[in-house]
Amino acid sequence: MTANRRNFLKVVGLGFASSAFGAQSANAATPSTATIESSDLSVTVATDFPRIIEYAHTPTGGLLYGTSASLSTLLIDGTEYTPSVSSTVRDGAIEYRLAVPSIAVTIDCSIRVSGSIVAFTVTDIQEGGSRMVHTLEIPEHNLVSVRDSQPDATLAATDFSVDGSKNGDYVVSVADGSVQSSPDGSPYAFVSTDTVAAGVETNAFGPLQNDEGQDPDRLAVQTVDSGSYKRTGIWSQPWRYRESDTDDIVELPWAKVAIAGDKNGDGTVNWQDGAIAFREIMYNPPGVEETKKRVAQYITHNFGSTATTPFLAALDGVKRAYLVTDGLGQFIELKGYQSEGHDSAHPDYGGNYNRRAGGREDLRTLIQRGEAFNAEFGVHLNATESYPEATGFDGDLVDFDSEGWRWLDQSYYNDHHYDLTSGRLQRRLEQLRSEVPEENLSFIYLDVYYANGWNAYKTATLMHDLGWDTTTEFPQTWERFSVWSHWATDIDYGPDSSRGINSTIIRFIRFHQKDVFVGTELLPVPEMVGWQGWSGEHDFTQFVETVFDRNLPIKFLKHHEIVRWTDDTVTFTDDVELSNASGRRTITRNDRTVYDDGAYLLQWSANDGQNQRLYHWNPDGGETTWELPAPPWRNKRWLECYKLTDTGRVHETTLQPSNGSVTIDAEAGTPYVVYCSRKGGNPDK
């Protein structure tokens, strides 16, 4: 954390009270300004350089600012230029052409407003000479800002530089914040007043040196003193348009601002309203829609030539887990699928399968057959280290002066950048995909990965292009792309350990999308139990308990987005609420209690709403009474209750609802499933 940040005098809470305030009047129009409008916004822009001056939010009458001072320069590859600028206003946008004749570069860009979103977009970069553009930066390009003269003017942002045992968020009053000589970095940042809030997204990677071991701070945040007021603004870090060694184009630069009033209807405006609006503009990696379905998480483990969990034995385990969960989604990482097992022969991805565990043929059988049991698989890869026994090991890739992990043979660190720019990483990934083409091999777990910046972007893009979701060990260094983290979920590290991302802001935004967070007493995280050999664990009973006692209620919540968070209550969409205000943790939906201090009757569906059922769990056992959900459940005279075992459903009893409720007498720590009608036999696959 920077000295400037530590010097903030007043840290306010995650929410704050509103106060009566009318919008400040807009700047008077001058020949160098224009107005672009949508149904929700009137945006004053400069015509002589891409710059937002202020926003008037029509639904609330609220006002936000952009950059008040004139701008005229940009940085191309770190060198400052003053371009000639022409602009045209049309159709809710202003289009600019920035020409730099000295290097024969022309940049076309626009500021466009649509609804409550304003986008700055580079639409074309033309290079007329030998000079190619690699990076682009607009210094002090405050895309949105607030002033201390505005009631409740506040900055909320998060800092990855703190360790996971501490919450990295800081929510500070602009009036009491320290003036900064240079901007801080942050991956997520919001400004707000008592009437309106805003967040910024960008496709920048972070600081330009940010390729290895740096924090992924995509945004610049700074508080300055203009003399008559203090202003806190947010803008994009420099964009990388081209990779420096290969000259491959990345993406055309863009940044977006989402603006909102009281989005969650709690009578106040703060960062949470901005975070809800931010979901409309944020980057979403592949796999985020699947997270809520991935309930039963575990690792199959083969190590040191022992093949303790052969692939076909792992398939038997998949069937067993399917039966005891009545088909809940399984998310299975295969450690040691290649060579002699876990941490052997990296970086061989294909062509070197664990023959003692069954080889490529049995691996494919596991993945193919596992799909019928609602199981998806990922393999443990390593792009950071190489082992001497690997066929892909050579001196061009590794640094012999940089030793890595030494669990078995001594490993050596790879040159990430060379691995990517030479095409070697891509060829290894393509070999694996061609040799194991099953769609149900759905994710890659990338071990001990430290890269950010272009290296991380390119690695993730290669995997996404081959149809894989991306997961990793360390949640912070691949935060933008990873949907699951080993450290954040492994029960071997202890419940609610500090190994995940510790940020209320990011949890608020992405809780429904990712399993990468540190848990809290109010809102725990899913856990993974290595009952198929990982960490020497073979306790199937513990696996079942973790799935039902912990993961299923959390995944139920992940079907809904967070809209409000207080000290003792989290409110979700669809009228779902999690609370421990009474001293007991409860979950309600439509004011109906579905979870009470560990016991629950939760509605669940698979296959996009088909196969509706209710899961019941009571860690203490005994009779509990539950109000039934809406029809068809409330319309039934009889319901069928089954005990779940690792050999399948066992019909327990026929339940007779009364006054819209049902009473279940359960054994302690035993899963049950309730259907509207009798179910047939268990699947024989």
**C-beta atoms surrounding 522 within 10 Å:** 16
The rounded distance, in Å, linking the Cα atoms of 366 and 310 is 10
Q: At what angle do helices 359-370 and 311-325 cross, to 10 degrees?
A: 10
Both structure tokens of 1? 């954390």
DSSP secondary structure code for residue 287 in this structure: T
User: Could you give the C-alpha distances from 563 to 263, 268, 646, in angstroms and in order?
Assistant: 8, 13, 38
Region of residue 175 (left: phi > 0; alpha: psi -120 to 50; beta: else): alpha
**Rounded to a whole number, what is the distance in angstroms from the first to the last CA of the chain?**
55
The rounded distance, in Å, linking the Cα atoms of 442 and 216 is 25
Q: What values do phi and psi take at 508, rounded to 5?
A: -55, -45
Question: Which DSSP helix (H) or strand (E) runs through 249?
Answer: none
Amino acid at 386: S
Burial 408-435 (b: 16+ CB within 10 A, else e): beebbbbebbebbbeebbbebbbbbbee
Residues 6 or more apart from 427 whose CB is under 8 A from it? none
Contact status, residue 360 vs residue 434, Cβ threshold 8 Å: no
Closest CA to 523 of 578, 456, 464: 578
Closest CA to 285 of 441, 440, 464, 439: 464
Strand-pair partners of 76 = 79, 136
Both structure tokens of 493? 């590290």
Q: What values do phi and psi take at 148, rounded to 5?
A: -70, -10
The rounded distance, in Å, linking the Cα atoms of 188 and 277 is 13
The rounded distance, in Å, linking the Cα atoms of 363 and 341 is 13
Both structure tokens of 150? 């505005």
Q: What values do phi and psi take at 382, rounded to 5?
A: -140, 115
Amino acid at 55: Y
Both structure tokens of 334? 């295969």
**C-beta atoms surrounding 400 within 10 Å:** 8
Longest dimension (CA), the chain: 83
Give the strand pairing for 294-301 and 254-260: unpaired
Give the strand pairing for 294-301 and 329-335: parallel
Contact status, residue 279 vs residue 509, Cβ threshold 8 Å: yes
The rounded distance, in Å, linking the Cα atoms of 547 and 529 is 9
Helix runs in 502-658, H state only: 504-510, 540-546, 552-557
The three-state secondary structure class of 387 is coil
Question: Which DSSP helix (H) or strand (E) runs through 276?
Answer: helix 271-278
Residues 6 or more apart from 369 whose CB is under 8 A from it? 315, 318, 685
User: What are the DSSP calls for 533-557, one per residue?
Assistant: BGGG---HHHHHHHIIIIIHHHHHH
Residues 6 or more apart from 290 whose CB is under 8 A from it? 329, 376, 442, 469, 483
The residues assigned a catalytic role are 447, 473
The three-state secondary structure class of 581 is coil
